[in-house]
Structure formats: C-alpha cells, structure tokens
Amino acid sequence: MKKEYYKLFFLTVTTVFLQLIKLNAQQINSAKPNFIIILTDDQGYGDLSTYGNPTIHTPNIDRMAAEGQKWTNFYVAANVCTPSRAGLLTGRLPIRSGMAGTANHRVLFPGSKGGLPANELTIAELLKQNGYYTAHIGKWHLGSQPQYLPTHNGFDYYFGIPYSNDMDLIDSVPYPKAIAEPKNEYFRVPLMRNESVIERPAVQNTLTERYTREAVSVIEKNKNRPFFLYFAHNMPHVPLFPNARFKGRSKRGTYGDIIEEIDWSVGQVLKALKDNGLDKNTCVVFISDNGPWKLFKELGGSSGPLFGAKGNSYEGGVRVPAIFWGRGLVAPRFVAEPGSTLDILPTFLSLAGGKLPQDRILDGYDLSGVLRGKQEKSPRDEFYYYHADVLAGVRKGPYKLLFYSSNSIGYPADFKKLDTPALFNLDEDISESNNIASKHPEVVKALELLAEKHSATVEKVEDQLSK
Ligand code: MG
C-alpha cells in the first residue's frame, strides 16, 4: 500500500514537472529571440585574453566565449570602417552598394555627400518588418547627411557619434600631435540623439560608459517585445580617451585600459539580460570592424599570430575575434570554420523566422544551424577579400590566393599587383609566411576561376564615398 502511494506520488510529480518544462519550452519557442551586436572599432585579433592576449584581461568576453561559440576564421567585409559596416548591416559586399570606396576615398568623412543608398536593406529594416524594436548606440559611419542617419535606415532610436572619433579635427593642431596627446576639444565630433546634436565636442572619456547606460536602458525598456540592438563602440579607434575608472589598470597601457572598459561594458549588457529574464532568449555577437591600426604603434592593437593590419587584405586586416553567445540559442563550441559579418543578416532573419529579400544578391550564409549545434560544417566555404573596389584575393577551404601585396602595417597602403599570385594554406600557415603557389598550380587555377566567376556577378554602381 505504502509502495503504491509513493508510485502515484512520483508519477504525479513527474507529470507536472514535464508539463512545466513543455510550457516553458513553448514560451521560449514562441517568443522571437532578441539580437545584440557589440562591435568594437579597430580592435585586433590578438587583443582579448580569450584570443591569447597575455596582458589585457577580458573576463566577461572570455565568459561569452566559454559559454557560447568562439569563431577563429571569421571575416569582416572590408579592411576599413565604412565598407565593413555597410557589409555587416546589409549582408552584401560593399562593392554591390557603392560603399566599397576607391583607392583615394576609402571611408566617409564629415563633409561627404554620400551614404548607404536608400534602396539597401539593413538588418534593422528587415527585423522591423518582423515586429522588432531597433536601436543603434554608438558609431554609425554610413553617412552623416540627414537622409543617411540611422533613423533613416531602420533604427527606431539612435544615440552616438555618426562617424570616427578622430574626425572634425580643429585646424590648429596637427593630426599626429592630436593623437599622441589627445584633448576632447581637438576633435569637434558631435554626439547625437536621434537626429539632434546634444554635445559638441563629445566628451570621449565617458563615451563607453554612457553608451553602456543607453544600451542597458534599451534592454530594460524593451524586455516585453523583441528587439535588435546594434551597439558599436567608437573605441579603441584612436584618439584613445580612457575613463578615469579604468585608467592605469592594464599592463598593456592606455589601449589595454580601453579594452578592459569595453569588457566591463559587455559584462553590464549580459547582466542586464539576466536581470530582465532575457538571457535565454537573446543572441549576443561580439566582433570588431577591422584589424588593428598598427600605424599608431602602442596606441593601436595587435593582430596576434596574424600577418597584416587595418587597411590591408592580409588576415590581420580582416580576420576578427567573433563570439556568439545565447543560452538555449547557441550551442557552446569552438568553431574553426569560416564565417563572416556578411552572414549575420541571413542568420538573424532565420532565427527570427523572417524572409530574406529575393530581389538582390546577398553575400551572406545562414549560420543558424552551426549556432544551434545542428550542423558541424559552416555553409560558408569561400571569402572574397576587397581592398576598396579591387578584389585583392580569394579564399576557398584552407587556401587563400592573393593577387596584390600591401604595406604590412596598412598605411600607406602601397597596394601593388603581384606578378604572379601568392597561395597560402591558412589552416597550416596562419601568418601567411609560406607561399606555396608553385607547388599547387591546380589550386591557383581553381581559385583564379572562382575569382572570375565572382567578379562576373558584380555590377557597376555609383561610388558613394568619393561624393
Ligand atoms: Mg575601424
């Protein structure tokens, strides 16, 4: 009798428990996931402790990597700011949208008349069509004329600087001095809320802290509806303005202090998700927009084991740290498969249950199968390296074929066509130090053919950056 009673009790408890799990799973599945992109500016592949930096301590970013997916072959769409961001937000190579630039106009400047064309569709516009609230905090750099601002590109809210933090330099201070001994008043950069300038020059020492407060507020205010937050730090792009709370903390000097504050900021974002019960239904991506600006020596970052820097098409210019995090959404794993910021748009749309536009060429792949742990291999197996509007190289599998050489620190570009293309096996030679073209003529041929096929899909459009 007693035994029967226990059996019944056990069965009832189990049934109720299973029902609760089912209900909870249904709730999670029916709610669209939230998305957060945290983008840093000019941070290198070797500037985080989880990617091997020995003196910069980034425990919050490291935790994201340990609990989520750390990608080690992840590429941005271009080796400098403006085209890289255009590729990220549209899922299209910037050469297709007129945002690739030319040898002499590689990014937008405060006086530029161009910007991301209105017919381009951003992640924000597409998620908005699927019921998302959208906010952009931080650096924009896709056009500062009124018609090109974030609020005209799918974002419900904007708080940030519309271009780089080293622009709008006053005439009386030469650029090298302004970078070496920066003062806020040297750079007349505007801080904007939506379409209004609220501070000029922006006080940059507290920028990361204020951006973070804004990001946390976006999370808190939108906890009951799906949201997309594009959080793009202006740092660690020079001039480096450390926050008093972080100054002198890192053995790496001011650059390290800046990265450690960004790490603190990541911790605040993750904490806000947890505090608001959103940590199981939010996908957070941490990436950089291009390689480190080595021209500025200790004020710039490190490419780690990679060759090259911001401004060139060696790995150090375009391969960036990329971490995907999201409890219940992202299966923890180390991913050595290729991926790109171009893939974020189709991946988010897939996770949100939305549809991709069919009237244009997209250059991204849906990585959601890999993120969810259902797929071992990345759907991306190739990558096209653009230097402004020129195809500088192509990768397929482990092989990279380079058609041009550049200055290894990126500036001046010194971009020259090679007499014969150089071939590297990136899986075995991460530093591009061993040209194996003469040993593998058949691979060279196959990659040349791939480059030709790709180039045939590119149509001529008006360049926006030289306007
Ligand atoms: Mg940049």
Which residues have CB under 8 Å from 406's CB, separation 6+?
308, 311, 312, 313, 314, 387, 392, 413, 414, 415, 416
Same-domain pairing of 66 and 146: yes
**What is the structure's pLDDT at 41?**
98
Residue 362 lies in a domain: yes
Beta strands at 191-193 and 157-160: parallel, antiparallel or unpaired: antiparallel
Residues 347 and 410 in one domain: no
Residue 93 counted as domain residue: yes
Structure tokens at 35: 């998305």
- Rounded to an integer, what distance in angstroms lies between the CA atom of residue 58 and that of residue 70? 14
390 shares a domain with 339: no
Q: pTM here?
A: 0.93
Residue 202 shares a structural domain with residue 131: yes
Q: What range defines the domain where residue 422 resides?
A: 383-455
pLDDT of residue 14: 63
Out of 141, 233, 237, 387, which one is annotated catalytic?
141
Q: Identify the pLDDT of residue 19.
A: 60
Cα 440 to averaged position of ligand 1 atoms, centre (Å): 35
Both 375 and 406 in a single domain? Answer: no
Does a structural domain hold residue 460?
no
**What HEC string does 198-266 produce?**
EECCCCHHHHHHHHHHHHHHHHHHCCCCCEEEEEECCCCCCCCCCCCCCCCCCCCCHHHHHHHHHHHHH
**Which of 358, 380, 402 marks a domain boundary?**
380
283 is catalytic: no
Residues 306 and 432 in one domain: no
Residues with pLDDT less than 70, the chain: 1-30
Cα 10 to ligand 1 centroid, rounded to whole Å: 59
Indicate the residue among 380, 410, 434 that finishes a domain.
380
How many A from CA of 237 to the centre of ligand 1? 7
Do residues 429 and 359 share a domain? Answer: no
State pLDDT tens for residues 376-412.
999 999 999 999 999 999 999 999 999 999 999 999 9
In a domain, 23, yes or no: no
Query: 81, 136, 233, 237: which is the annotated catalytic residue?
Result: 81
Answer yes or no: do 332 and 408 share one domain: no
CATH of the domain at 392: 3.30.1120.10
Residue 52 CA, ligand 1 centroid: distance in Å: 21
Which CATH number covers residue 66?
3.40.720.10
| Residues 374 and 389 occupy one common structural domain | no
Q: Are residues 443 and 368 in the same domain?
A: no
**How many angstroms is it from 251 CA to the middle of ligand 1?**
24
Residue ending a domain, among 324, 351, 380, is 380
Q: How far is the CA of 346 from the centre of ligand 1 (A)?
A: 23
Distance 289 CA to ligand 1 centre (A): 5
**CA–CA separation, 254 vs 463, rounded Å?**
37
Contacts 24+ apart (CB under 8 A), 239-246: 239/165, 239/166, 239/178, 239/179, 239/182, 239/186, 239/187, 239/204, 240/182, 240/299, 241/165, 241/182, 241/184, 241/204, 241/205, 241/207, 242/205, 243/205, 243/206, 243/208, 243/209, 244/205, 245/209
Residues near ligand 1 ion, CB 5 Å cutoff: 41-42, 81, 289-290
- Report how far ligand 1's centroid is from the alpha carbon of 297 (Å): 16
Q: Are residues 369 and 394 in the same domain?
A: no
| Helix spans in 130-174 (H) | none
Taking the centre of ligand 1 as the mean of its atom positions, its distance from the CA of residue 290, in whole angstroms, is 5
Distance (Å) from CA 14 to ligand 1 centroid: 54
Report the alpha-carbon distance of residue 325 to residue 136 in Å, rounded.
19
Please tell me whether residues 409 and 299 are part of one structural domain.
Answer: no
Instruction: Please tell me the total count of domains within the chain.
Output: 2
In a domain, 224, yes or no: yes
Domain presence at residue 412: yes
Look at residue 11 and tell me if it is in a domain.
Answer: no
Task: Answer yes or no: is 21 within a domain.
Answer: no
Segment 217-225 long-range contacts (CB within 8 Å, at least 24 positions apart):
218/135, 218/137, 218/157, 219/269, 219/272, 219/273, 219/276, 219/278, 220/272, 220/276, 222/34, 222/133, 223/276, 223/277, 223/278, 225/131, 225/132, 225/133
Please give the C-alpha separations between residue 144 and each of 111, 139, 195, 278, in angstroms, as whole numbers.
Answer: 8, 11, 10, 33
Question: Any idea what DSSP says for residue 9?
Answer: H
